[in-house]
Structure 1
Amino acid sequence: MGVLYDYFRAPDDEAVAKLMAAIDGGPVVRAGDSPVADAVDGAAIDPAVVLGKVVAFALDVPWSTDLVGDRLVWPDGVAQDREYEGPWVVVLGERARDALAGIPDDRLPDLAERWSQIEELSYYSDTQPEVMLSRLREFVGLARRARASGDSIYCWICL
């Protein structure tokens, strides 16, 4: 099945811990259920690489592994446990949130075109530019709502 990613916004790490307790560790996006948070189904879009590349495009900087600035926030104590297979939650840095939130609408098609051509997405069949444009709009919308409310963007991850 692969790795699952759900992106959502929350005011702080404590709110994330409470959310994870309420939903028994996730997932955050649940098909057919009422939303438990303002969230985007991340499919195969991991924070550091795949999302990081579109952030790099938006900022017009070279991509690097630390560009998104993600940091483990939940659960406590698993950072050193190499056997732990999830779920876990990371928070994205404000730079990544603000880069996504600040993308002008007229740049979205060009960025989606570039994003659809990255090597990491070449293994998937649903990464045509129009599909990635829809995905990018979801991420930009989430980032804009997060920035407007002073929230951070979090990513729930599970193997």
Structure 2
Amino acid sequence: MGVLYDYFRAPDDEAVAKLMAATDGGPVVREGDSPVGDAVDGKGIDPPVVLGKVVSFALDVPWTADLIGERLVWPDGAGEDPEYEGPWVVVLGERARDALAKIPDDRLPGLADRWSHIEELSLYSDTQPEVMLSHLQEFVGLARRARTSGESIYCWICL
């Protein structure tokens, strides 16, 4: 099994720490029929590269490793411990959130088609344009809700 990525929205880093203390398995963990938070199962979509590529397409700028602008927020001290193997949470920069939130619906199919052909997704069997469109719609919806609420997008990462 590969690395797991769950994307979710939260008002601040303190709320994230409380959510992580209350869950065992990330924000997509379900209590009954409901997810613990407003979250998207990111499958193998890592923040800096795979998500970064579609953000670069949306912004019409070259991709760079720091385009998403993620920063480690949980747990405290994980960044200094080379032996720590997760899980951890990063927050995405506002530029990435806003770029996703601002993608017009009529651009989504073309962006998803382009995204489905990036090299980093070539190892996955389920990256047809229609599958990536569904993922992109989820990310855009999450970003729109986060922006409207004045919240940030976070990514829970687990090896």
Aligned to 1:29: 28
Distance in 2, Cα, partners of 1:15 & 1:100: 22
In the TM superposition, structure 1's runs of 4+ consecutive aligned residues that sit over 3 Å from their partners are none
TM-score (norm 1): 0.97
Matched letter for residue 2 of structure 1: G
Aligned to 1:50: 50
Matched letter for residue 36 of structure 2: V
Aligned to 2:83: 83
Aligned to 1:15: 15
Matched letter for residue 26 of structure 2: P
Give the root-mean-square deviation of aligned CA atoms.
Answer: 1.0
Post-superposition shift, 1:33? 4.6
Matched letter for residue 16 of structure 2: V
Aligned to 1:94: 94
How many matched pairs?
A: 158
Matched letter for residue 27 of structure 2: V
Aligned to 1:67: 67
Deviations 1:40-78 (A, max 9, x none): 000000000000000000000000000000000000011
Matched letter for residue 28 of structure 1: P
Distance in 2, Cα, partners of 1:127 & 1:30: 24
Percent identity of equivalent pairs: 83
SS of corresponding position for 1:6: strand
Is 1:120 the equivalent of 2:102? no
Matched letter for residue 101 of structure 2: A
Post-superposition shift, 1:82? 1.1
TM-score (norm 2): 0.97
